[in-house]
Chains A and B, each alone.
Chain A
């Protein structure tokens, strides 16, 4: 199915998220939509798949103008979208997810659905148990389920929004294989990404978006440099790694075990020294979060020993960890970090953890003003945090940290940030590191892990590999470990 978008416009308040975007995609091809976070790619794809309404422009399928009021209408016309976080129902079973949305009458036709599921599984070589709970699947498997579901509903145009985030290397290889197969079967595949090499590996034609506008269109063969220029407006200088002498151990784990309802990761041994950067790699949900929260004192570990600054910790409260200079920066900025409804001044007062009884509002206001300037947050002392952009929220979180910390634990420190904020965040972190702060961070982005880590800790299938020296590790090696090989 041939797709044409003509002069699409979309506004969010005053933000012009899609500014006069036109593009054409031929059937049987893999088409890349490249751009950094906030470039307007997802917005455009949500317009195309009926999730949001556009403010201007035209969508043509095989030359015919179409109008989608909902995703269901889009899928009926043959356009299906796979979201970055698969839009499925984790508490339900695989087959229920597959069934839901099929217009197959009143009673559930489970046997027919099962047959369909088996047919598609065989076709693509997927292996998912129909009665498994979706919450127990990996992101890669959930993508596979969504692919089969959309195909069974008659999708001819498949949109993949950042599908390589959060899946393992073997799953990525499998995904690319599937995408090529889909294109060979005559499907139109739209691949949305901010990763240059993924676009380069896969796509025949790439359109680059920047700040809501099309900056260029390239067809094979193209070079990375071409794409970079279109994406950022300039070539990026490769970052310089600084070698810093490591200090005393700040955190030591001996046979630490972290666990929750679903997952148990035993036998974690690690020593983190001052000024060291350790990256946690692995498929999302392999225990990185549990690990970080246990190290920060937010959750009690299920077993083993935790030593901080050379002293063993026995069931200590979270505020003791804060006192000893250990903090955790969560990924859910508005869910578990900032307090929506409170302004920046109020946050800074709370974060000071002072013992005073009355609040000196005038002083607090002045201090907040200074901090906002220092951290270049686009906002005022009385701005509520939910009104800030993602990048500014992350800046606000960093602004809440005390100056002399021993260890910062971060979960997806740059997820969803644009390139400018991403670089700013790392500049901040590396500056602290220069003053001796150790950094442990989890990321789904392998490039980020390689770029900043001294050592890498791989989480996979309830196990943790021995920490690897980042300089001596190859991407392939890491990919295999993440996929569970050699652990």
Chain B
């Protein structure tokens, strides 16, 4: 083991341990027993086979969203609108599930297509606002997120309301042919797992080995120069948005027909925002994404058990995830600064490094 290995290990694991310590303090602060809480989370995530299946069902849409975000982050875009793109994917899926009465084998691919279309269209809208309207994608995307959620609510208590009662609990369940088939004794099935893994592999190779990926990377690093070299930047940015929307839409489809089997108000599960954290924590590298996504799914899934078992708010999971990402990002900054001070070395220009203006401009 080289010294380098140990330094990397300390920098990699240190922030996570610190995050756990801070979260433990938070638990102590609200008068909870941290050990019980962590045990409850562990059981909630890994307690038995069925629970593990539930966990995978969280992992799939989160992974799909993160895979989509890899594309937009490569192009230097903060696609915060992904949340709404998941929602739109679910809405389109729900519409198709209600409209068509086909056998599963035709219906399910169709529902995926519908979800992809919904996500892509919503993402394109944010893309058009960005490229033609010059509205920063963060604001355009956020606005569209709120609008997408409002549309869901409207559909649930309006046109698609349960017969007799107008309630915000959700629409009627879809017909069973629209449900994603599950493995025996589990809530998760082979289709969505395959879809998520294939998506990951495709995007990994597309970003690494193709001219398309290189062009996106160029746009992400410097849009003006990329355009000068001859990359049609507007088209590629719109493409990046749309493609991210496709994956987000699939996540929405899984949420609608694999998890809830109906449309509910919070159909996105917050996986869009969580996906941004996943990609940040993976250092924008596809290889890290499935593992980080798995860890985050376990935390999310485990924390759901907290209110029932121990009367602790389930947002503890979010606190833990947020603190870890924050500390990892900060530790990268500290480490880079430390290296700068010792070797006057240039930092890798990642999306995390801010542009610098110098006192003595050349």
Physical contact A–B (CB less than 8 Å): yes
A233 within 8 Å of B (CB atoms): no
Which residue of A has the minimal Cβ distance to B351?
A341
> How far, in angstroms, from A334 to B356 measured CA to CA in the complex?
14
A261 within 8 Å of B (CB atoms): no
Query: Contact check: which of B211, B217, B225, B359 meets A358 at CB < 8 Å?
Result: B211
Pair B222/A328 contact, Cβ less than 8 Å: no
Pair A339/B226 contact, Cβ less than 8 Å: yes
Enumerate chain B residues within 8 angstroms of A400, measured Cβ to Cβ.
229
A51 within 8 Å of B (CB atoms): yes
Enumerate chain A residues within 8 angstroms of B231, measured Cβ to Cβ.
350
Pair B361/A83 contact, Cβ less than 8 Å: yes
B214 within 8 Å of A (CB atoms): yes
Pair A336/B360 contact, Cβ less than 8 Å: no
Query: Contact check: which of A51, A318, A339 meets B225 at CB < 8 Å?
Result: A339
Query: Contact check: which of B218, B228, B360 meets A330 at CB < 8 Å?
Result: B228
**Which residues 371-408 in A have Cβ within 8 Å of B in the complex?**
386-387, 400
> How far, in angstroms, from A351 to B344 measured CA to CA in the complex?
32
Indicate whether A337 sits within 8 Å of B230 (C-beta atoms), given known contacts A85-B361, A87-B361, A359-B211: no
Enumerate chain A residues within 8 angstroms of B361, measured Cβ to Cβ.
83, 85, 87
Enumerate chain A residues within 8 angstroms of B210, measured Cβ to Cβ.
357-359
Enumerate chain A residues within 8 angstroms of B360, measured Cβ to Cβ.
46, 51-52
Pair A341/B215 contact, Cβ less than 8 Å: no
> How far, in angstroms, from A339 to B349 measured CA to CA in the complex?
11
Query: Contact check: which of A46, A52, A341, A351 meets B229 at CB < 8 Å?
Result: A351
Enumerate chain B residues within 8 angstroms of A335, measured Cβ to Cβ.
222, 224-225
> How far, in angstroms, from A213 to B139 measured CA to CA in the complex?
54
Minimal beta-carbon separation of A412 from chain B (angstroms): 14
Pair A346/B211 contact, Cβ less than 8 Å: no
Indicate whether A338 sits within 8 Å of B214 (C-beta atoms), given known contacts A359-B209, A387-B346: no
Chain A 401-430 near chain B by CB (<8 Å), digits 1 or 0: 000000000000000100000000000000
Query: Contact check: which of A13, A319, A339, A359 meets B218 at CB < 8 Å?
Result: A339
B227 within 8 Å of A (CB atoms): yes
Enumerate chain B residues within 8 angstroms of A87, measured Cβ to Cβ.
361
B98 within 8 Å of A (CB atoms): no
Enumerate chain A residues within 8 angstroms of B230, measured Cβ to Cβ.
318-319, 322, 350-351, 353
Pair B229/A339 contact, Cβ less than 8 Å: yes
B212 within 8 Å of A (CB atoms): yes
> How far, in angstroms, from A80 to B202 measured CA to CA in the complex?
59
Enumerate chain A residues within 8 angstroms of B349, measured Cβ to Cβ.
340-341, 386
Chain B 231-266 near chain A by CB (<8 Å), digits 1 or 0: 110000000000000000000000000000000000
> How far, in angstroms, from A342 to B227 measured CA to CA in the complex?
14
Pair B221/A339 contact, Cβ less than 8 Å: yes
Which residue of B has the minimal Cβ distance to A384?
B349
Enumerate chain A residues within 8 angstroms of B215, measured Cβ to Cβ.
350
**Which residues 1-52 in A have Cβ within 8 Å of B in the complex?**
13, 46, 51-52
Query: Contact check: which of A319, A338, A361 meets B232 at CB < 8 Å?
Result: A319
Enumerate chain A residues within 8 angstroms of B346, measured Cβ to Cβ.
386-387
Pair B214/A349 contact, Cβ less than 8 Å: yes
Interface size of B by CB at 8 A reads: 26
Enumerate chain B residues within 8 angstroms of A319, measured Cβ to Cβ.
230, 232
> How far, in angstroms, from A46 to B344 measured CA to CA in the complex?
20
Pair A356/B229 contact, Cβ less than 8 Å: no
Minimal beta-carbon separation of B351 from chain A (angstroms): 10
Minimal beta-carbon separation of A99 from chain B (angstroms): 21
Which residue of A has the minimal Cβ distance to B349?
A341
Secondary structure of the A contact surface, majority rule: loop
Enumerate chain A residues within 8 angstroms of B218, measured Cβ to Cβ.
339, 342, 346, 350
Which residue of B has the minimal Cβ distance to A355?
B211
**Which residues 330-362 in B have Cβ within 8 Å of A in the complex?**
344, 346, 349, 359-362
Chain B 200-224 near chain A by CB (<8 Å), digits 1 or 0: 0000000001111011011001101
> How far, in angstroms, from A298 to B226 measured CA to CA in the complex?
13
Interface size of A by CB at 8 A reads: 39
Which residue of A has the minimal Cβ distance to B348?
A341
Minimal beta-carbon separation of B232 from chain A (angstroms): 6
Minimal beta-carbon separation of A294 from chain B (angstroms): 15
Pair B221/A340 contact, Cβ less than 8 Å: yes
A354 within 8 Å of B (CB atoms): yes
> How far, in angstroms, from A339 to B360 measured CA to CA in the complex?
23
Pair A350/B214 contact, Cβ less than 8 Å: yes
Which residue of B has the minimal Cβ distance to A323?
B230
Pair B229/A350 contact, Cβ less than 8 Å: yes
> How far, in angstroms, from A108 to B300 measured CA to CA in the complex?
55
Enumerate chain A residues within 8 angstroms of B225, measured Cβ to Cβ.
334-339
Which residue of A has the minimal Cβ distance to B215?
A350
> How far, in angstroms, from A346 to B231 measured CA to CA in the complex?
13
Minimal beta-carbon separation of B48 from chain A (angstroms): 45
Which residue of B has the minimal Cβ distance to A348?
B229
Enumerate chain B residues within 8 angstroms of A346, measured Cβ to Cβ.
214, 217-218
Enumerate chain B residues within 8 angstroms of A338, measured Cβ to Cβ.
222, 225
Enumerate chain A residues within 8 angstroms of B214, measured Cβ to Cβ.
346, 349-350, 359
**Which residues 304-333 in A have Cβ within 8 Å of B in the complex?**
317-319, 322, 328, 330
Query: Contact check: which of A85, A342, A356, A361 meets B217 at CB < 8 Å?
Result: A342
**Which residues 175-218 in B have Cβ within 8 Å of A in the complex?**
209-212, 214-215, 217-218
> How far, in angstroms, from A351 to B212 measured CA to CA in the complex?
13
Pair B211/A339 contact, Cβ less than 8 Å: no
A433 within 8 Å of B (CB atoms): no
Enumerate chain B residues within 8 angstroms of A361, measured Cβ to Cβ.
209
Pair B222/A358 contact, Cβ less than 8 Å: no
Which residue of A has the minimal Cβ distance to B212?
A357
Minimal beta-carbon separation of A14 from chain B (angstroms): 10
A347 within 8 Å of B (CB atoms): yes
> How far, in angstroms, from A20 to B232 measured CA to CA in the complex?
51
Enumerate chain B residues within 8 angstroms of A298, measured Cβ to Cβ.
228
Which residue of A has the minimal Cβ distance to B208?
A359
Pair B222/A339 contact, Cβ less than 8 Å: yes
Which residue of A has the minimal Cβ distance to B227?
A318
Pair B229/A347 contact, Cβ less than 8 Å: yes
> How far, in angstroms, from A346 to B346 measured CA to CA in the complex?
20
Enumerate chain A residues within 8 angstroms of B211, measured Cβ to Cβ.
349, 354, 356-359
Minimal beta-carbon separation of A309 from chain B (angstroms): 19
Enumerate chain B residues within 8 angstroms of A322, measured Cβ to Cβ.
230
Pair B212/A328 contact, Cβ less than 8 Å: no
> How far, in angstroms, from A386 to B349 measured CA to CA in the complex?
10
> How far, in angstroms, from A250 to B221 measured CA to CA in the complex?
34
> How far, in angstroms, from A337 to B227 measured CA to CA in the complex?
9
Enumerate chain B residues within 8 angstroms of A334, measured Cβ to Cβ.
222, 225
> How far, in angstroms, from A356 to B224 measured CA to CA in the complex?
23
Which residue of B has the minimal Cβ distance to A400?
B229
Which residue of B has the minimal Cβ distance to A336?
B224
Pair B229/A13 contact, Cβ less than 8 Å: no
Pair B344/A13 contact, Cβ less than 8 Å: yes
Enumerate chain A residues within 8 angstroms of B226, measured Cβ to Cβ.
339, 350
> How far, in angstroms, from A316 to B54 measured CA to CA in the complex?
54
Enumerate chain A residues within 8 angstroms of B222, measured Cβ to Cβ.
334-335, 338-341
Which residue of A has the minimal Cβ distance to B211?
A359
Enumerate chain B residues within 8 angstroms of A339, measured Cβ to Cβ.
218, 221-222, 225-226, 229
> How far, in angstroms, from A87 to B360 measured CA to CA in the complex?
10
Enumerate chain B residues within 8 angstroms of A350, measured Cβ to Cβ.
214-215, 218, 226, 229-231
Could you list some 8 contacts between A and B, CB below 8 A?
Answer: A337-B228, A338-B222, A339-B226, A347-B229, A349-B214, A350-B215, A351-B229, A358-B211
Closest 5 CB pairs of A and B: A341-B221, A51-B360, A336-B224, A339-B225, A339-B222
Q: Apart from A350-B214, A386-B349, what 5 extra A-B contacts exist at CB < 8 Å?
A: A13-B344, A52-B360, A319-B232, A341-B222, A387-B346
